[in-house]
Amino acid sequence: MKIEGRHYRTLWPDADDARVHVIDQTRLPHRFETRALATSADAARAIADMIVRGAPLIGVVGAYGFALAMGEDASDAGVAEAHAKLLATRPTASNLRWALDRQRTLALGTPQAARRAACWAEAGEIAEEDVRFCEAIGAHGARIIAEIAAKNPHRPVDILTHCNAGWLATIDWGTALAPIYKAARAGVALHVWVDETRPRNQGASLTAFELLGENIPHTVIADNAGGHLMQHGRVDMALVGSDRVTATGDVCNKIGTYLKALAAHDNGVPFYAAMPGSTIDWTMRDGVREIPIEQRAAREVTHISGLGADGAIATVQVTPTGSKAENYAFDVTPAKYVTALITERGLCAASADGLRGLYPEQST
Amino acid sequence: MKIEGRHYRTLWPDADDARVHVIDQTRLPHRFETRALATSADAARAIADMIVRGAPLIGVVGAYGFALAMGEDASDAGVAEAHAKLLATRPTASNLRWALDRQRTLALGTPQAARRAACWAEAGEIAEEDVRFCEAIGAHGARIIAEIAAKNPHRPVDILTHCNAGWLATIDWGTALAPIYKAARAGVALHVWVDETRPRNQGASLTAFELLGENIPHTVIADNAGGHLMQHGRVDMALVGSDRVTATGDVCNKIGTYLKALAAHDNGVPFYAAMPGSTIDWTMRDGVREIPIEQRAAREVTHISGLGADGAIATVQVTPTGSKAENYAFDVTPAKYVTALITERGLCAASADGLRGLYPEQST
């Protein structure tokens, strides 16, 4: 998608396949900088430090990291080590494990000398698949937006989103934002309420930055405000991404998503989650009990970074010195609060039956 | 209550009754500074700029502002002007109107020459009443905490609070925090989850600062985290203040309170709101439809202040330049999600019958 009129993806390999380049998302929206990942350690650090984030993008960077690791040690022990090292970077997102499992299977079925090249090509294929899947999610979700627009032809469709599930969270298009981009390109009038998404502010920074780049009308709000807006009829639909969906349709997503789903339910606002099939964890049935929730550094709560008055990026401490903080990165929205899931294969109910209907090959 | 071992109130008059001093709450928790209010314009500005905030404290500062206005123009026209000017500073809190109505009635029943002195004394009496009422709220609410503690004797009671409804929001003791202070002094082991309360961070700054001063164990969390904690049994009760309660028990409080009430309801966590009787608006029956919700400057969302690395207070911009923001200061929690109201007269159901039972003089 576009930044200041120029098309970007979040990730692109060198012409000679030596390195992969990513946008440093910790610097957005104030600075546009890229990082070159030349080693598997670079890739692991980029994921752990959230230079790249977003479940689908993490999966692709993990896949490239695995390919880089095969250039460092292509032995079977190296395969196991690369898988373990990259998987440990973020515990919650399902896509990372999915991509690493795929690379491990490929590597073990390939002669050692060919493993790096095969895995590099596979990482590229995973990236291309992600673009195709996100575009399909966009097409399916845009129909929901168009239906709401058809019922209210004289005003924009108001869509609330949480965190960043846009193109910056994927390779291109995004998951939750893909339907918005597709609908906007089809001429549907819409407006996006952007939850700032504390503590890391991915909404206020990344989602707002994306929507500016695509000229989509939007308004940043505190995470606290969505319930009030829904009580007053200011939200037509809520649309979020996901880091892991259970086989029963429970949706794990950025911390605070659950609160918005409750408010949507209380006010009759439809609540959708959008994700590619790689986000579905077919081994889990109870999201609240089973999905591991990453705890991140307390400093992400106690300190906030932004653009200082002098134009430099600065960090300020908001809590008194001496108060401790805790930082839970995700929560789980029970399936009963999810109107439907939007996948690359279409919509389905957030339920075991709904998911099996779309992914019959998982029924065994 | 205590700051670094020394007892303070939020407000104290000069010995010669010329001025009233307040703690500048916009500088907390990083700086302890006081401001002297010498004119009614000073008082109005202190309320509008949130140098003082919290519904009960706003009421008392409004009352002192009214007395100062009587020193500037004690005519009947001056009475009307002072009432209107001070009422316009913040639209949502009920206590401000209550205190100004009380001062207006007193002034109009007093000879002009005696109006300033009478209203000054009355402001002092309103302040003393607030202290007594808050202490009584504390005693009533502490019994709820003690009951929970009795059921779980081997661990602290986990209480979640939103915004700042502590002594800094009143004259002393606080509303929602008064039960916590009373229970802690009675030896009940407890721990407070402090919602940071974006956009102004009154939880992360003021509530954390208060709890540090009183040595109460606490943990600051993003506003997004409370639902996750409740899903995992980490919250025994939610306890908030209020800026206006309808005659039917709907609770208007800082934006985001409604989301926490929904999560409490979904997880069987009791949800209490604490307030003095002056917070009850007996003229309103439907909080969501009737209570005016203040909209504040977008800059409170797009910019955040805190302590910079150099020890100076600095402000950083978190959104990209070009994205707009909106800032709704309060929301309304429907009475059905409120387990009980805690007032200076005791507990009651959040309902018309419950409130009439405690305040029978309002039944006419």
CA distance B314 to B306: 6
Is A76 domain-assigned? yes
Is A248 domain-assigned? yes
Q: Which residues of A touch B293 (CB under 8 A)?
A: 228
Examine the domain organization and report whether B310 and B253 are in the same domain. yes
Nearest chain A residue (CA) to B329: A225
* Residue A364 banded pLDDT, cuts 50, 70, 90: low
What's the pLDDT score for residue B16? 95
What's the pLDDT score for residue A92? 87
Residue B246 sits in a domain of what CATH number?
3.40.50.10470
* Residue B238 banded pLDDT, cuts 50, 70, 90: very high
Final residue of a structural domain among B104, B129, B154: B129
Read off the pTM: 0.96
Give residue A200's identity as a one-letter amino acid code: R
Is B91 domain-assigned? yes
Examine the domain organization and report whether A306 and A346 are in the same domain. yes
Final residue of a structural domain among A70, A102, A129: A129
Q: Which residues of A touch B202 (CB under 8 A)?
A: none
Average pLDDT of the segment spanning B40-63: 97
CA angle, residues B149, B154, B159, in degrees to nearest 5: 45
Shortest Cα–Cα distance, A105 to chain B (Å): 35
- Is B266 a known active-site residue? no
* B127 sits in which H/E element: helix B112-151
What's the pLDDT score for residue A93? 81
Does the structure show a pLDDT above 90 at A205?
yes
Average pLDDT of the segment spanning B246-269: 98
Examine the domain organization and report whether A29 and A151 are in the same domain. no
CA distances from residue B331 to A361, B251, B256 in whole angstroms, order as listed: 46, 8, 7
Nearest chain B residue (CA) to A325: B220
Q: Which residues of A touch B166 (CB under 8 A)?
A: none
What's the pLDDT score for residue B92? 87
Query: If you average pLDDT over every residue of chain A, what do you get?
Result: 97
Is B77 domain-assigned? yes
Among the listed residues B243, B250, B281, B331, the single catalytic one is B243
Instruction: Starting at the earlier edge strand, list the strands of the sheet with B237-240.
Output: A324-325, B218-221, B190-195, B157-161, B237-240, B271-274, B340-343, B346-348
What's the pLDDT score for residue B344? 98
Average pLDDT of the segment spanning B31-56: 97
Does the structure show a pLDDT above 80 at B363?
no
Is B98 domain-assigned? yes
Q: Which residues of B touch A218 (CB under 8 A)?
A: 323-324
Examine the domain organization and report whether A191 and A301 are in the same domain. yes
Q: Are A204 and B315 inside 8 Å of each other by CB?
A: no
The region of weakest confidence among A96-100, B92-96, B119-123 is: B92-96
* Residue B93 banded pLDDT, cuts 50, 70, 90: confident
Is A134 domain-assigned? no
Nearest to B262 by CA among A45, A226, A51: A226
Examine the domain organization and report whether A116 and A145 are in the same domain. no
Q: Are A228 and B194 inside 8 Å of each other by CB?
A: no
Examine the domain organization and report whether B213 and B79 are in the same domain. no
Q: Are B316 and A316 inside 8 Å of each other by CB?
A: yes
Q: Which residues of A touch B302 (CB under 8 A)?
A: 204, 220
Query: Best interface-test mutation with B: which of A216, A224, A336 has the largest number of B CBs within 10 A?
Result: A224
Q: Are B314 and A317 inside 8 Å of each other by CB?
A: no
Does the structure show a pLDDT above 80 at A107?
yes
Rg (CA), chain B: 20
* Residue A91 banded pLDDT, cuts 50, 70, 90: confident
Examine the domain organization and report whether A125 and A157 are in the same domain. no
Is B134 domain-assigned? no
Shortest Cα–Cα distance, B353 to chain A (Å): 25
Final residue of a structural domain among B82, B102, B129: B129
Total domain count, chain B? 2
A57-71 confidence digits (pLDDT tens): 999 999 999 999 999
| Percentage of chain A modeled with pLDDT above 70 | 100
- Residue from the list B208, B293, B306 with its beta carbon closest to the beta carbon of A316: B306
What's the pLDDT score for residue B231? 98
Shortest Cα–Cα distance, A195 to chain B (Å): 10
CA distance A248 to A361: 16
- Residue from the list A231, A308, A328 with its beta carbon closest to the beta carbon of B228: A328
CA distance B247 to B242: 13
Domain with B27, as residue range(s), is 2-129
Q: Which residues of B touch A201 (CB under 8 A)?
A: 318
**Torsion sign across C-alpha atoms A217, A222, A225, A230:** positive
Examine the domain organization and report whether B54 and B160 are in the same domain. no
Examine the domain organization and report whether B77 and B106 are in the same domain. yes
Examine the domain organization and report whether B211 and B234 are in the same domain. yes
Judge whether A11 and A21 are in contact, CB under 8 Å: yes
Does the structure show a pLDDT above 70 at B346?
yes
Q: What tokens were used for B83?
A: 């009432």
What's the pLDDT score for residue B351? 98
DSSP code per residue over A263-292: HHHHTT--EEEE--GGGEETT-S-HHHHSP
A300-359 confidence digits (pLDDT tens): 999 999 999 999 999 999 999 999 999 999 999 999 999 999 999 999 999 999 999 999
What's the pLDDT score for residue B291? 96
Residue B56 sits in a domain of what CATH number?
1.20.120.420
* Residue B364 banded pLDDT, cuts 50, 70, 90: low
A136-146 confidence digits (pLDDT tens): 999 999 999 99
Nearest chain B residue (CA) to A295: B225
- Residue from the list A218, A255, A306 with its beta carbon closest to the beta carbon of B316: A306
